[in-house]
Structure 1
């Protein structure tokens, strides 16, 4: 068991996180689960005694020992205690394409909230697994999590009760400002470039909110489109989850229906994007798969979208 794995186990325990998944003759401990990553600590040749409560939420007490050639992990969940005897603990990481993932939990300017979500899960991959699990585009894009006009300060993808606040969320980093400068320059958006220079000198919430408002204007749509396209391209190299032959047939059947709808809209001059919401590969329960059609609507000043939902029961 490497020092890195021990550190990751300690990190989970410090956060009172201990979710075991029993699947494919393996016992996995969830390390990071989101649309971009499914990461686990896998117990080798494990034997469990006592009672593991999968629904427990609360403080954990744990101790790790070595007895001969075996490791022993004792975990207390409140009044319940269980013990894992195992030979080794190793990392198992699965990376997935996330550039066309869609979750529509919060209304209004959904296309910006999708961007916030994708950047957030990318940053989690960068922070928890390390930059070696990110390509060069992802390393740059991950910095935009520290750009308040694009993060949860202005466009949260989830309701407020689910947001995990960070220290000084309204303060942009130099790296984030540099990445946005680059996009504004590539889009030849001089107005945005000008206010970014002011924002660098005066990084206050008032200017951040002003930039946030600018990003949903028709006049600055090119910058938003370029960032979204960069995310899509950066994640394209990763595979998509596969749910088996029967499930994939159902997904393709619904997808063809959505594509026909998209073609009809295109013939009427309306642009749209197909997105998907899917369960994790290691999900133990039957979870609904959804395909969305995000249809662009151009207002007088603002860009808006209409969302159509197409469920697929797997």
Structure 2
């Protein structure tokens, strides 16, 4: 998609074609045999979990969940007594997967992302969190269209095209994980206008003057100068204002909740001991105990981690320090490698620069 383009409507069959063209084919199987809907991951990030759902599906063949090569796929439609039946044949190298289904629909869950983040790259971590949140917001808008985001979100998403704040200057992930954008150093006029609005609201006149110059003379050198200015104390109000706007834009979405699952026997003995200590239940309950599991840890341990971080935050704030709490959490459906963690960004000043010291709390 070109800059500023948003999907106008969701056509699940076009979305399926798009995934297969990108060699993406990650299936999520039903939790029990009675369920007949098979899910294909469409978009997963901290802001959204979206799937293509094969309705009344049956699958044959050997699915390879770890396959990362090129895909060959063919979709056909057959007329049956009960209506149309679709047949999707996917070649994963030498393996062939065939899915028979009656219809294809889109399932989307939107989540709060304004206080979520990851600390994969060191140095000016708060600016990297901004880059990350803007990037996932833009992806949500780009792939799921205007209906998946508010007007304010669609506006803020345009900042992905403001080089001083995108991965060109403050990448949130290591270089090998970055998906390159076209003309990453080329800002859009709309992105510059948004930054001018922020600078005006913050009464940062020197930044306003630089942005006016940047509109006429943008490039790597000027982008890097503006990126350098953004971590200075004198321009901190603009950064804080942008963080606050992203937080407000996402606050109406729910936080993730995790289903109660049966604790699997392959969990480590130490984890089982932790759960045994902390779970309150009837001693006569079934041997197959159930607990709420978040990223492989019990609900009790999750609450303990969050409480430790909150208590530490209160201690630091009582000392007069500015502290921001950031959560990192796994997806609700697909299995990923992210565990539940809580971070505190403790704000400091060093030779005119704003930096943060990061404390981590995890299981």
TM range (shorter): over 0.9
In structure 1, the residue matched to 2:3 is: none
- TM-score w.r.t. the length of structure 1 is 0.96
Is residue 349 of structure 2 the alignment partner of residue 302 of structure 1?
Answer: no
**Greater C-alpha radius of gyration:** 2
Structure 2 partner of 1:253 = 304
Matches within 5 A, 1:51-130: 51-68=62-79, 69-130=84-145
Q: Conserved in 2, the CA contact under 8 Å of 1:44 and 1:88? A: yes
Instruction: Work out the CA distance in 2 between the residues paired with 1:9 and 1:286.
Output: 25
Is the partner of 1:84 in helix, strand or coil? Answer: strand
1:231 alignment partner, SS class? helix
* In the alignment, structure 1 residue 4 sits paired with structure 2 residue 19: no
Q: Which moved more, 1:63-72 or 1:2-11?
A: 2-11
**1:41-52 alignment to 2 at 5 Å?**
41-52=52-63
Written as runs of structure 1 = structure 2, the 5 A alignment for 1:33-48 is: 33-48=44-59
Partners of 2:317 and 2:234 lie apart in 1 by 22
| Residue 287 of structure 1: how far off its partner (Å) | 5.2
What is the rounded CA distance, in whole Å, between the counterparts of 1:258 and 1:60 in structure 2?
A: 44
Deviations 1:176-230 (Å, cap 9, x if unpaired)?
Answer: 0111110010000000000000000111111110000000000000000000000
For residue 253 of structure 1, report the CA deviation from its aligned partner: 2.1
Asked whether the 8 Å contact 1:23–1:282 carries over to 2, the reply is: no
Displacement of 1:93 in angstroms is 0.1
Aligned with 2:28 (options 12, 21, 30): 21
Deviation at 1:260, TM superposition (A): 1.3
CA distance in 1, matches of 2:337, 2:213: 50
1: CA distance, partners of 2:10 / 2:159? 31
- Partners of 1:61 and 1:75 within 8 A in 2: yes
Instruction: Tell me the distance in 1 between the aligned counterparts of 2:27 and 2:307.
Output: 37
CA shift, 1:311, in A, is 0.7
Q: Residue 329 of structure 2 corresponds to which residue in structure 1? A: 278
Secondary structure of the 1:153 match is: coil
Deviation at 1:29, TM superposition (A): 0.3
Q: Indicate if the aligned counterparts of 1:273 and 1:295 stay in contact, CA closer than 8 A.
A: yes
- The whole-number CA distance in structure 1 between the counterparts of 2:304 and 2:205 is 45
Q: Where do residues 184-203 of structure 1 align in structure 2 (5 Å cutoff)? A: 184-203=199-218
Q: Per-residue displacement from partner, 1:259-310 (whole Å, max 9, x unpaired)?
A: 1111111121111011110000013468521011111011221000011111
Contact 2:46/2:136 (CA < 8 Å) preserved in 1?
A: yes
Q: How many correspondences in the alignment? A: 311
Contact 2:328 2:338 in 1 (8 A): no
Q: Secondary structure at the match of 1:23?
A: coil
Find the counterpart in structure 2 of residue 227 from structure 1.
242
Secondary structure of 2:40's aligned partner: strand
Q: Cα offset for 1:255?
A: 1.5
Where does the alignment leave 5 or more consecutive residues of structure 2 unmatched?
A: 1-8, 260-290, 293-297
Contact 2:71 2:93 in 1 (8 A): yes
Give the stretch that moved more between structures: 47-56 or 280-289: 280-289
Task: Return the alpha-carbon distance in structure 2 between the equivalents of residues 218 and 181 of structure 1.
Answer: 18
Distance (Å, rounded) in 2 between the aligned partners of 1:192 and 1:132 = 34
Q: CA deviation at 1:250?
A: 2.6
More divergent stretch after superposition (60-69 vs 106-115): 60-69
Q: What is the root-mean-square deviation of aligned Cα atoms in Å?
A: 1.4
Q: How far apart, in 2, do the equivalents of 1:289 and 1:149 lie?
A: 30
